[in-house]
Structure 1
Amino acid sequence: MALTASSAPAFVSKPRLSFAQVFNMSFGFFGIQFGWDLQRANMGPIYEYLKASPEQIPLLFLAAPLTGLIVQPIIGYMSDRTWHPRWGRRRPYFFVGAMLSTICLFLMPNSGSLWMAAGLLWILDTSGNIAMEPFRAFVADKLPESQRTEGFAMQSFLIGLGGSIASALPWLMSHVFNVPSVSTKGGIPPTVEFAFYAGAAIFFIAVLYTILTSKEYPPVAIPAQKKIEENKKGISHGVTEITHAIKNMPSKMKRLALVQFFTWPGLFLMWFYYNTAVARNIFHAADTADPLYAKGIEYGGLTLSYYSIISFLFALLIPVIAKRLGRKTTHTLCLLCGAIGLISVRFVTQPYELYFCMTGVGIAWSSILSMPYAMLAGALPEDKIGVYMGIFNFFIVLPEIIASLFFGWIMEHLLNNDRMLAVQIGGALMVLAAILCYSLIYENKNDPAGDAAMYETADDRPV
């Protein structure tokens, strides 16, 4: 299946795709994000149901960043060099990741212990990364530069749509399907259990839809001897090339990486603590056995669903706003909206006020999922898009690793296990990310593609 590319292969000319074609190639992200948001909204409560303490929660979330750090550049490198005449370059990875993730989602709500849940999350995040990472490169593979903002915005739209349903699923199970929200055994509620079963099916079906409805452009043929010589280099060659790519990142990528490094901790702290903060600080639940705790978790999930709704609706506007203001300014303003939303959670006195906070988070989330990738894609060499997209995600997972390893100590010794204050700290970090974005990123607003593509120097242009 593997086809080794030459150092700078030519690809077929990329015509503009129709709306339906862009939708089809992006729809798999609906399922992937459904799985991600289902576990993000519910793993914190699942850990607390399994008797985890607040300072243990960040460490138990360590699986996602570690697997992303290792898996994403490797999958990116491999997918850059994969070609099957029927299944293409990225789609085999979509399928394998979706299949493994589906199995983990079915097993997760049946976890009988804290470490079983943590182990399943580790496998789930590994599988999710296998499916997700090639989707970013898929947009750059198939779309011309003038359509890339549209392509990443479509991904953002479907991510928001999937996340909105996934986050609200336990609430829907309880209030629409009359599934009990409290377990008779005192463990993981049936609402969460059935939500994970539904999420597993949706994950797999959505990814399979993209696999079956989208085609890929083949690389140009290269001499057989060249294939043999490249394939003989094996794993060591892959490690060498990934290391070389890290050392030779375009300067624009380095600047965007710094913005990412301070953006994502705000989201991680929200995912770590937001739902439990709502249950304890807004609904005033005494402990996990208090019926108010389950109600607070469900309501928190509903507000997370709302921010995903805002995200997919705002994704429809992002291409228009970015053309008018430029990608940099658009992303800066969106990050500030998210920061305001997270910081203002502390001042909520009534549950419904959380929706105002989550409006800002939804706007930021829509931009976070599209603008950095749209700004980056045009500066990457065509034959290394997959590996560079994987490396770019280092700067998402590294801050999560830092938070997972050290924020538990901060919670216990400095914040007195105040979950709401942790969410606010995330908002402050997002303010810093917005300042860095506006200060460090440069863009050419007169780009002929009309997409405000950014180049700082000639060296940033694709080779």
Structure 2
Amino acid sequence: MERPRQGFWGLWNISFGFFGIQIGFALQNANMSRIFQSLGTSIDDLPALWIAAPLTGLLVQPVIGHLSDRTWFGRFGRRRPYFLAGAILAALSLFAMPLAPALLFAAVMLWVLDASLNISMEPFRAFVGDMLRKDQHSAGYAVQTAFIGAGAVVGSIFPWALEQLGVSNAAPGGGIPDTVRYAFWFGGAALFFAVLWTILTTREYSPEQMAAFDGARAEAADAGARALAERGNISGFAWLAAGGAVIVAVGQLGLEKEVYLLGGLLAAYGIASLIAIRLARSGRGANMLASIVGDFAGMPPIMKRLALVQFFSWSALFIMWINTTPVVAGAFYGAPDAADSRYQEGANWVGVLFTVYNGVAAIAALTLLPLLAARFGKARTHIFGLLCGAAGFASFFVIRDPHWLIVSEIGIGIAWASILAMPYAILASNLPQAKLGIFMGLFNVFVVVPQLLVATVMGSIMQAFFPGEPIWTMAFAAGTLGLAALAMTRVKEG
């Protein structure tokens, strides 16, 4: 039995909520460094404050994926209730963020905002796989990517557009400019109503229908836990030892204090593994911890290969989100200080640049990438996209006029479209449907871990080798996308 084929409006409704979610992410990505610096933090402290975003994703997405695979809320479905809960919390966070009276409040609200966005976002990845036939996966993720690009365009351009309409972009007292304040309020409303559109215009297939659709692709929910019960404790102790070694190295080598978090996470996973193995051996494999650890340890081979690609890809993206504003303001506008009016001018231009790469991504997802994928395959198309992004980051070193950075963003936009579409289309066609939510959530670990690594280690590297020269972060971004393209040559499509 096969799923019904979705037409244009079916594809539209399934992914329209992502348009609103990405408005929230775009406002966060383009403006949080600006908000933090406007409230008094230094550029060297930005990575530590940005840790909130990837850390919440690391914790939230596997849990939500696990829960949404295993729960059914009757007529409300299994994914849509999570869409709604996350949208409500994210909208409230976007309304509260611009009211931040101090740096601490802004940092806490970033944690809440990112957790809320992840609650809504994670089930959307699995939702496309739930609702579409296998031969429509590429189209479904392409449409989703187009909405991501369109939402990011709206979120990125809004502060700049408000300034053109006469809204004040100045923050002489060290607060948050009105352009950013109004943009966040608009974004909160847009996010909520976009997600509500998907909730009201779609109807999920029942568990019985899903079982009939998937047949051989269905997999027992406790398979990962059973495999975990047969594993030894050596790997758990190895993770624990690795975490301890990192923590010791921070003190011995004088690394930035944020690296403690990386060591703590490695040790925490080691402890979680040991507990999960014990639970599985005692017959309590259905426990959420045992299920998540078991599925992580038992990832399909194609997912492991794509995980390495994601690790390098998202390292570059997180470098870009943290550093583009200080790079452009300092290297192209000559204003590293947030109190300088030229800094705010440069920050607004970054909003335009982010608009360009997201707009390019939306167009490429619906035009260029499907054509290339049909002719050369999804894997080779992704290699092409990653190399375009590497060239875009490298061009920051040859361009002198900030307006020409738009050319750089074209390459970055093609890479962004490919990163958001190709790996997920490959995965959705090769993963067991019964575990699509948890595997998509675990795949996000390889989106999050590189971001944590950048947030904890990049500051130490820059302080040691390039103090006061953030533009060199663009060289790291170009290099990691090159490594991602190289890793992608090992991925063979199913």
Normalising by structure 1, we get a TM-score of 0.89
- Which of the numbers 333, 341, 366 marks the counterpart of 1:291? 341
Q: Aligned residue for 1:429?
A: 480
Relative to structure 1, the CA distance from residue 441 to residue 235 in structure 2 (aligned partners, 3 Å threshold; closer, same or farther) is closer
Q: Aligned residue for 1:400?
A: 451
- Which of the numbers 389, 400, 405 marks the counterpart of 1:338? 389
Relative to structure 1, the CA distance from residue 286 to residue 239 in structure 2 (aligned partners, 3 Å threshold; closer, same or farther) is closer
Gaps of 5+ in 2: 212-220, 222-282
- Which of the numbers 20, 25, 28 marks the counterpart of 2:17? 28
1:132-151 paired onto structure 2 within 5 Å: 132-151=121-140
AA at the equivalent of 1:203? L
Deviation at 1:195, TM superposition (A): 0.6
Distance in 2 of aligned mates of 1:15 and 1:356: 42
Deviation at 1:184, TM superposition (A): 4.3
Distance in 2 of aligned mates of 1:388 and 1:286: 42
Deviation at 1:352, TM superposition (A): 1.4
Equivalent residues of 2:138, 2:421 under 8 A apart: yes
Q: Which has the higher helix share?
A: 2
1:141-180 paired onto structure 2 within 5 Å: 141-175=130-164, 177-180=165-168
Gaps of 5+ in 1: 1-11, 228-232, 444-453, 455-463
Deviation by residue 1:342-366 (Cα, 9 ceiling, x = unmatched): 1111222112110000000000000
Q: Secondary structure of 2:467's match?
A: coil
AA at the equivalent of 1:186? G
Q: Aligned residue for 1:85?
A: 74
Deviation by residue 1:104-141 (Cα, 9 ceiling, x = unmatched): 10111111221211110001111111000000000100
1:51-200 paired onto structure 2 within 5 Å: 51-175=40-164, 177-200=165-188
Deviation at 1:85, TM superposition (A): 2.4
- Which of the numbers 35, 39, 43 marks the counterpart of 1:50? 39
Equivalent residues of 2:43, 2:326 under 8 A apart: no
- Which of the numbers 282, 298, 301 marks the counterpart of 1:251? 301
1:241-390 paired onto structure 2 within 5 Å: 241-317=291-367, 318-390=369-441
Distance in 2 of aligned mates of 1:85 and 1:119: 35
Distance in 2 of aligned mates of 1:301 and 1:419: 18
Normalising by structure 2, we get a TM-score of 0.83
Deviation at 1:247, TM superposition (A): 1.4
RMSD value over aligned CA atoms? 1.7
Matched residue count:
423
Deviation by residue 1:220-258 (Cα, 9 ceiling, x = unmatched): 199xxxx9xxxxx99961211111111111000000001
Distance in 1 of aligned mates of 2:40 and 2:460: 18
Identity %: 44
Distance in 1 of aligned mates of 2:445 and 2:336: 38
Equivalent residues of 1:27, 1:206 under 8 A apart: yes
Deviation at 1:92, TM superposition (A): 0.1
Equivalent residues of 1:54, 1:411 under 8 A apart: no
Equivalent residues of 2:172, 2:339 under 8 A apart: no
Distance in 2 of aligned mates of 1:209 and 1:300: 30
AA at the equivalent of 2:181? E
Distance in 2 of aligned mates of 1:347 and 1:184: 33
